[in-house]
């Protein structure tokens, strides 16, 4: 996909940089597909040893990524005692289910995976978190905005306001061209028949639209040197949530770019992940 190539440089990423390539001893893993109308949800589960119910983390991949790309992330979460499930979404378009930038087109789409997760007997329904990377961070924030069942959110380097993101002044000519292509790609994927319809779709896809509905504690992680989604994206959301008295924390990683935790240096990625695990442990502790 154009978006994946320009934003995440997926060929440059190592999804197993700090995460296990094989299932840890005692865990159980499986996959399933659930279709509800025009939306198909693909889920990749990893369950730790024991009977449960377990605190549960729903994990969303970066734009263009698949749930299976994050098997290492979910394995590591399971190793720390979480039932973890990576999720991707497919939209029914032109008679077949396809990947699409605007896979979510109705409010019910934002919580479809959550409903599947809540129905599992091994899930502790009082301790569900959403975690995502790039576009996956956006999905995780929107999921929490539409359901108070999400008790905590971790969003790595999300775009928080798509219109402002597109309109940001960029000095480098190459980046201006790249972002023009990205906006064209978004417009084509949206299927919008007018500028007004496209702008409304961008608004509904932006976490900043829902600051009044975001009540769960939120951890934002952003690279200081991110040129795909500036750290201002997370700072904007942090400011708005703090103004409303919400619990929000922003970690700015010095010198780090986009999808830094799937790239060298390994020590930097590990340090931030350890902090993420500590934060999740605090937020999902038994009440």
Q: Which among 114, 215, 104, 203 has a CA at the least distance from the CA of 159?
A: 203
pLDDT of residue 5 exceeding 50, the answer is no
Instruction: Give residue 244's Cα distance to chain centre.
Output: 23
In the three-class reduction of DSSP (H, G, I as helix; E, B as strand; rest coil), residue 31 is classed as strand
Which residues lie below 8 Å from residue 287, measured CB to CB, with a gap of 6+? 126
What is the average pLDDT across 29-36? Answer: 98
**Looking at the predicted structure, is the pLDDT value of residue 11 above 50?**
no
Q: Residues 112-160: pLDDT tens digits?
A: 999 999 999 999 999 999 999 999 999 999 999 999 999 999 999 999 9
The whole-number average pLDDT for the span 61-73 is 96
- Cα(74)–Cα(101) distance, rounded to whole angstroms? 23
Judged against a pLDDT cut of 90, whether residue 259 lies above it is answered with yes
Core vs surface per residue 88-113: b (16+ CB within 10 A) or e = bbbbeeeeebebbbbbbbeeebbbbb
Domain ranges of the chain: 2-282
Which contiguous run of DSSP H or E holds residue 200? helix 195-204
pLDDT for 10: 41
DSSP annotation of 7 reads I
Dihedral (Cα; 113, 119, 125, 130), 10-degree rounding: -10
Structure confidence by residue, pLDDT tens digits, 149-188: 999 999 999 999 999 999 987 777 877 888 889 999 999 9
Asked whether the predicted pLDDT for residue 250 surpasses 50, the reply is yes
User: How many whole angstroms from its chain centre is CA 103?
Assistant: 14
What is the rounded end-to-end Cα distance, in angstroms, of the chain?
A: 43
Question: Which residue matches tokens 């999808």?
Answer: 259
- What percent of the chain has pLDDT above 70? 96
CA distance 33 to 132: 20
Domain 2-282, architecture per CATH: 3-Layer(aba) Sandwich (3.40)
Q: Give counts: helices (H), strands (E), the chain.
A: 9, 9
| Model confidence at 6: pLDDT above 80 | no
State yes or no: pLDDT of 244 exceeds 60: yes
Residue 39 near residue 90, CB atoms below 8 Å: yes
Question: To the nearest whole number, what is the mean pLDDT of the chain?
Answer: 94
**Is pLDDT of 217 > 50?**
yes
Three-class SS state of 47: strand
Tens digit of pLDDT for each residue in 80-103?
Answer: 999 999 999 999 999 999 999 999
Beta-carbon contacts of 246 under 8 Å, excluding residues fewer than 6 positions away, are: 214, 215, 217, 218
pLDDT score recorded for residue 3:
44
Residue 189 backbone phi and psi in degrees, to 5 = -65, -30
Q: What is the pLDDT of residue 177?
A: 87
- Judged against a pLDDT cut of 80, whether residue 9 lies above it is answered with no
Q: Say whether pLDDT at 209 is over 70.
A: yes
Do 190 and 102 meet the contact criterion of CB atoms below 8 Å apart? yes
């Amino acid at each position: 996909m154009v978006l994946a190539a320009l934003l995440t440089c997926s060929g440059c990423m190592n999804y197993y940089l700090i995460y296990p390539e094989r299932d840890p001893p005692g865990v159980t893993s499986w996959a399933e597909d659930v279709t509800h109308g025009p939306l198909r949800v693909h889920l990749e589960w990893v369950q730790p040893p024991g009977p449960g119910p377990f605190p549960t983390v729903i994990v969303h991949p970066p734009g263009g990524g698949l749930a299976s790309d994050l098997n290492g992330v979910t394995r590591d979460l399971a190793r720390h005692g979480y039932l973890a499930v990576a999720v991707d979404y497919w939209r029914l378009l032109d008679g077949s289910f396809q990947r699409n930038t605007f896979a979510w087109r109705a409010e019910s789409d934002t919580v479809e995976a959550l409903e599947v997760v809540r129905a599992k007997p091994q899930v502790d329904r009082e301790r569900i978190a959403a975690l995502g990377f790039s576009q996956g961070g956006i999905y995780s924030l929107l999921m929490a905005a539409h359901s108070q069942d999400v008790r905590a959110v971790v969003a790595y380097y999300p775009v928080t306001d798509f219109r402002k993101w597109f309109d940001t002044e960029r000095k480098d000519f190459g980046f201006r061209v790249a972002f023009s292509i990205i906006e064209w790609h978004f417009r084509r994927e949206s299927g919008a028949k007018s500028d007004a319809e496209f702008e409304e779709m961008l608004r509904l896809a932006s976490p900043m639209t829902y600051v009044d509905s975001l009540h769960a504690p939120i951890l934002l992680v952003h690279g200081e040197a991110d040129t795909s989604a500036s750290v201002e994206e997370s700072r904007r959301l942090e400011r708005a949530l703090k103004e409303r008295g919400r619990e929000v924390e922003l970690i700015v990683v010095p010198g780090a770019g986009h999808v830094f935790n799937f790239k060298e240096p390994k020590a930097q990625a590990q340090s931030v992940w350890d902090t993420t695990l500590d934060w999740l442990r605090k937020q999902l502790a038994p009440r």
